[in-house]
Each structure stands twice: as structure tokens, then as C-alpha cells.
Copies of this chain bind each other. A is one copy, B any other.
Amino acid sequence: MTKTDPLVLFMPSGKRGRFAVGTSVLDAARTLGVYVESVCGGRATCGRCQVSVQEGHFAKHQITSSNDHISPIGAKEQRYASVRDLPDGRRLSCSAQILGDLVIDVPQDTVVNAQVVRKDSDGRVIERDCAVHMCYVEVEEPDMHKPLGDLDRLVAALAADWKLENLDVDFHLIPQVQKILRQGEWKVTAAIHRDEATDRPRIIALYPGLKNEAYGIACDIGSTTIAMHLSSLLSGRTVASAGTSNPQIRFGEDLMSRVSYVMMNPDGREGMTLAVREALNGLIDRVCAEGNVSRTDILDTVFVGNPIMHHLFLGIDPTELGGAPFALAVSGAIHLKSAEIGLPLNAGTRVYMLPCIAGHVGADAAAATLTEGPHRQDDMMLLVDIGTNAEIVLGNRTRTVAASSPTGPAFEGAEISSGQRAAPGAIERVRIDPLTLEPRVRVIGIEPWSDEPGFAEAAAEVGVTGICGSAIIEVVAEMYLAGIISEDGVVDGAMAERSPRIEQKGRTFSYLLFDGEPRITVTQTDVRAIQLAKAALYAGIKLLMDKQGIDHVDRIGLAGAFGTFIDPKYAMILGLIPDCDLEHVKAVGNAAGTGARMCLLNRGYRREIEETVSRIEKIETALEPKFQEHFVYAMALPNKVDAFPNLARIVTLPERTLSLEDASADNGGGRRRRRNRDT
């Protein structure tokens, strides 16, 4: 290349370079590391390498017309366009040659390069580079003068056309290779799996003729819900998605009860492994039906889950995770064949599982980290996934730390007198008038708020049955803002004079949130349960902030279903999360599932998260003396010692009155009790 060679700019990546006149656009893209798919290997038959071409606008070259910077459409492209659909303005990059300066758009559409993975916070464009590639080749026919085997000639053709050196072959293909080659009249498409740079590439599937499609599955195995996405490995398009509840729930609601089940029942592990695999097979059937895809066309899969889901899915006994030192059987990323774990797809289908961070911080947290990318940012980001155990990751480009906190199931509505799962009839939003102490609530399945017309009729029909997680946060926070509870969480009996909703029950008071059938109240015990849960979470976060030597975080990501439904403001009022500009606190949805999809579509992300996890410092809260102290302080609302300047800017917090000693005497015991139960 010289300075007078044409300059070519690829969008949206912005990569650019100079290329000799006559270079194909595909070769230019590959030279620059711009990912452009091609199955047919430059034969203008697969159509996967489509690009949009604009004329160049660079200073040094004189542009005379829009057409002379790219070769005219030739016979091969014309043939493709006549057989298939080639939209106006599109060219096949394998056939279009560079004649002058060009701007090339790599399109983002369903055929070519559907951008399923959103840009992350640092605005990178996410390109595909799947672990499985489809490679079409034309194989030499057998020749008595050169008695290489059919397979060996296939391997030689793949080496020549696709630069696949040192290629290995899945054994199950060997008895089929002759038939497939003859069916395809010596033209076949090989599915090549290559994950790590140190792996030998392998033929994992073989098809007669041009096989212009291949699929993959990304799946997040949650303890409550399993979510699966089916994606095209050739365009990245998500073809279908499906979810189901985890059937292991019948063995135990939360993680520790499932571990207990394994410990108590000789066939407990096997039963739960079978249950989750059956559920996965059911989901595969559903996404295949929805996407009109054959199971055997699914060639790669990525799974994530917390450590116990990870172990049970793989058939590993999770007993060691039930007690200190919480030893994972395996923490690193693992590779296997889907057939090895009873997921019948293609005989060559591979499984990749992301690494686990620690005994209670799983591959799901790793996947969420990959998606949100604290390790790619200068900003200090806190990533929290709240479940029975909260998984907490805090970090930036320089350093990332992680821990889990034993929050218990209170946020999910368990241990709360009127608590329930989010479902029609559950109160999900709460406001309390600080003057009258009267509540307004919003109920799932009912459009108006409780003080709006039509609510009573709808409530009579749907039934108001309890409080779900998001409303539990809100009602305690609103009670605090209204002065019904003090910053130490005591329901103030004196308030009974101001409102009949403050009711005495034995030695404590409760608040009547909804006077229906059933009556929905928030008791002193409920408030205590929430305090314990939030204190555990906050103490874990605070410990990580100590490790980082910081007193505030720049960004907060709330992962998972709970993170999606809670209002960040109320989470902060309660002191669930540290103070932060609310603009920078966001629900990140199923970040774990997104991370799995990223690893499915680009093996570079596998290396990124493996390397990141190896660098993440794992903090075991049980071993940190400071955790206990943070826990005690965090029992107060929003917190005994920390300032909440961002929060104070938008709500008026009650004045602080509590002394450190009160909190310490009151709550230390509760914290210890919970720790013993949940770890």
C-alpha cells in the first residue's frame, strides 16, 4: 500500500486503511479486522457479505461520479441478485473491488449483521466473531494417483480456502463424510469450531452443498426463572426467545434449600439436574418452533447461572457450596459438547459456560459484568443483582472487586407478613401523605391508583392480595419519609394519635396499608426483616467501597427482575444502595442473559470475561471484620454514617437522631443469625 492507494473507511466501526486498486472489499475488511460474514468463501452465493457502498469524500482524490470508485456489478453478483434478494445499493463485498476512495457501511439487518447486542455504556460497536463458522468448500474428487482419504482432501481444501491449519475433526463425522461429500457432489459446508486461540480448529458438522444458516442458544439459568434466546450465528439476529420458571423450585424455593435437598436425598442432585435439563429441552423446543429452526442446526450454546445452578446444570454435586469454604468444583470457563449433558442438538454442538467469580458469585454475575463493563470504564460502577444472595461487583478499568451478601428472601416477599411474588393483585407502588399518613397504592393488574376513579371496581374484581418486592421497598421508605418509622426502624406508637392506620400489636405498632380483605399491614417485624436484608446488602457494598478506597460510586446498575421493578430513588432512601446521581442509577434488566448472548456471538467476549474474572478480587464477607460494623451502621435508614448528598437534593430526609450505640445493641444479633442460616 502506498499513500496514493485508495482510502477505504468502514462504518460503523470507523476502521480505515489504504488498499491497492482491485482489492475486494471483503479482503479489505478482513485486513482491517472488520467482521464481515462469508459462508461461500467469495463465490457470491451466500449473500452474507453484503455491504452498502458510498463514494469516497476524501480530500486528495477527485471524485467525478459516484460509480467509479467501485467495480461495476459483475456476472456473479447479477446471478446472486436474480436468485435471491439484493437490496438497492447493496453489493457483495467478495465481488466488489476497490477502485477509489470509499465509505463502506456494514449494514445492520437481519440477513447480514443484525445488531442484537446493544451498544454498551462506552459506546462500542459490538461485532460478531462466533466460535462456530460456516465454511463452504469444493473438494477434489478421489484420484487413484493421489490416494488421500476423502476426509483428508476435505481438510486440505479447508486449509487452502479458509486458512484453517492443523484442523481436527469430531469423530462422529468420520463415518458420514463419504456420503455427505457425494450428496453435495464434492461441494460441502463445514461448521468449524474454534474458541480459544490455543485450540485446534475442529470440524463439528458437515453439510452437502451450501449451508447458509447456523444457530446458537444463549441461556440464563436463574434459580427462579430460565430465559433462553435463539440467535442466528450468521447474522446475529435473535430468532426467538422464551422463558420458563425453574422446575427445581419444587425441590426448594431458594438456593440453600436446594443444596439441603441434595444433602438430604441420595438422588437429589440427579433429580434436580434432570429437572433443569428437561426444562431447557422444553425451552429449546419452544424457541425452535417459534423460529422455525431445526434442533440440529443449533451448533453453539452459552449458559450462565449462579454457582449452584451452574453446578446442578452440569451434574455437579453442589454440597460443597453449602458450607465454608464454599469450594466451587470448577471456577474457570468450561467447554463441553451438548450431548455430554443430555441436550440433544447436533452431535457436534458445543457448550460454553462463563467462569464463576466465587462460591456465591456465579457465571451470571460474570455475564452481567461483561454486559455492563465496569472493567471497560473510567467511572467507578456498582453492579448489584439482588436475590437470596446479592451478587455485588464494584470496579472500573483499573480494579474490580466482588462479593456476595446474604440478603435473605425478604426482598422477594418472603418473611414479610403480607409479602407475595409480583403477580396480579400485588401492591407494587406506595405513596404516603406525610400530613394525613394516608396511603395511595398501585396494584398489578389495576390501571388506576387507589385514589383514582375506577380503582374500587377493579380491586373488587382482581382482588388485592399482598405486597410485592418493589412495594415493600417503597412502603418502608415512605413510612420513614412520613415519620411513621424512625431512622432506626421503630414504628412510632405516638403516631397512632394522628392516624388510625397506626395500630398497636402487642408491644409494637404496625401500619395498615390496605383496608380490604385481607387487611394488608406492615408490621414492626416486616420493617426489621427489610432492615436486615438491606443492611446485609449495603454492608457488602460498603466493604467493596472500602477495598476500592472510595466514598461514592459514579454509576449503579441494578440487575435482574428485582432491579427492574424497584424505583432507584426508594432503594436509595432505604439505603439499599449508596448515594449516587439518580441519572446514573439504572435497571440493567437481564444483563446476565445479554452477557451470555455476547459470548455466543463473539468469542472475544469469552476471553474478555475470563481475563476479567481472573483479575477480579473476591472478597468473602464472612472473613472481613469490617463487614459486621458496616452491617450495624447500615441497619439505620438510609444509613447511620454515610452522607446521601444526591438523595438530599431530591427528597427531604428526616433529621438524624440515632446514636451509634443504640444501633449496635439492637441489631448485631440479628445479623449473625442470618449469616448462619444463609451460608
A residues at B contact (CB < 8 Å):
142-152, 155, 166, 168-169, 171-172, 174-175, 177-179, 198-200, 314-317, 320, 324-332, 334-337, 340, 356-359, 618, 620, 622-623
Pair A147/B359 contact, Cβ less than 8 Å: yes
**Nearest-CB residue, chain B, relative to A171:** B336
Report A606 CB to chain B, min CB distance, Å: 15
Told that A144-B326, A148-B331 touch, could you supply 11 new A-B pairs with CB distance under 8 A?
A143-B325, A147-B359, A150-B329, A168-B335, A171-B336, A174-B314, A175-B314, A175-B317, A177-B330, A178-B329, A199-B200
Residues of B near A324 (CB, < 8 A) are 144
Residues of B near A175 (CB, < 8 A) are 314-317, 329
Residues of B near A329 (CB, < 8 A) are 149-151, 174-175, 177-178
**Nearest-CB residue, chain B, relative to A166:** B198
- Name the contact of A334 in the complex, choosing from B148, B171, B332 (C-beta under 8 A): B171
**Nearest-CB residue, chain B, relative to A199:** B200
Report A470 CB to chain B, min CB distance, Å: 32
Report A78 CB to chain B, min CB distance, Å: 37
Pair B144/A620 contact, Cβ less than 8 Å: yes
Residues of B near A320 (CB, < 8 A) are 142, 150, 178
Residues of B near A155 (CB, < 8 A) are 332
Report A302 CB to chain B, min CB distance, Å: 16
> How far, in whole Å, are A145 and B619 apart by their CA atoms in the complex?
7
Report A143 CB to chain B, min CB distance, Å: 6
Residues of B near A335 (CB, < 8 A) are 168, 171
Report A28 CB to chain B, min CB distance, Å: 31
> How far, in whole Å, are A2 and B174 apart by their CA atoms in the complex?
54
Report A370 CB to chain B, min CB distance, Å: 19
Most chain B CB within a 10 A radius of its CB, from A149, A150, A200, A328: A149
Q: List 28 A-B contacts (CB under 8 A).
A: A142-B326, A143-B325, A145-B623, A146-B618, A147-B326, A147-B328, A147-B620, A148-B328, A149-B327, A149-B329, A149-B356, A150-B328, A151-B329, A151-B331, A152-B328, A166-B198, A168-B335, A171-B335, A171-B337, A174-B314, A174-B334, A175-B317, A175-B329, A178-B316, A178-B320, A178-B327, A198-B200, A199-B200
Pair A332/B144 contact, Cβ less than 8 Å: no
> How far, in whole Å, are A353 and B585 apart by their CA atoms in the complex?
60
**Nearest-CB residue, chain B, relative to A619:** B145
> How far, in whole Å, are A335 and B142 apart by their CA atoms in the complex?
23
> How far, in whole Å, are A337 and B198 apart by their CA atoms in the complex?
21
**Nearest-CB residue, chain B, relative to A360:** B147
Residues of B near A359 (CB, < 8 A) are 144, 147
- Name the contact of A147 in the complex, choosing from B172, B199, B317, B358 (C-beta under 8 A): B358
> How far, in whole Å, are A152 and B359 apart by their CA atoms in the complex?
13
Residues of B near A332 (CB, < 8 A) are 149, 151-152, 155
> How far, in whole Å, are A30 and B612 apart by their CA atoms in the complex?
37
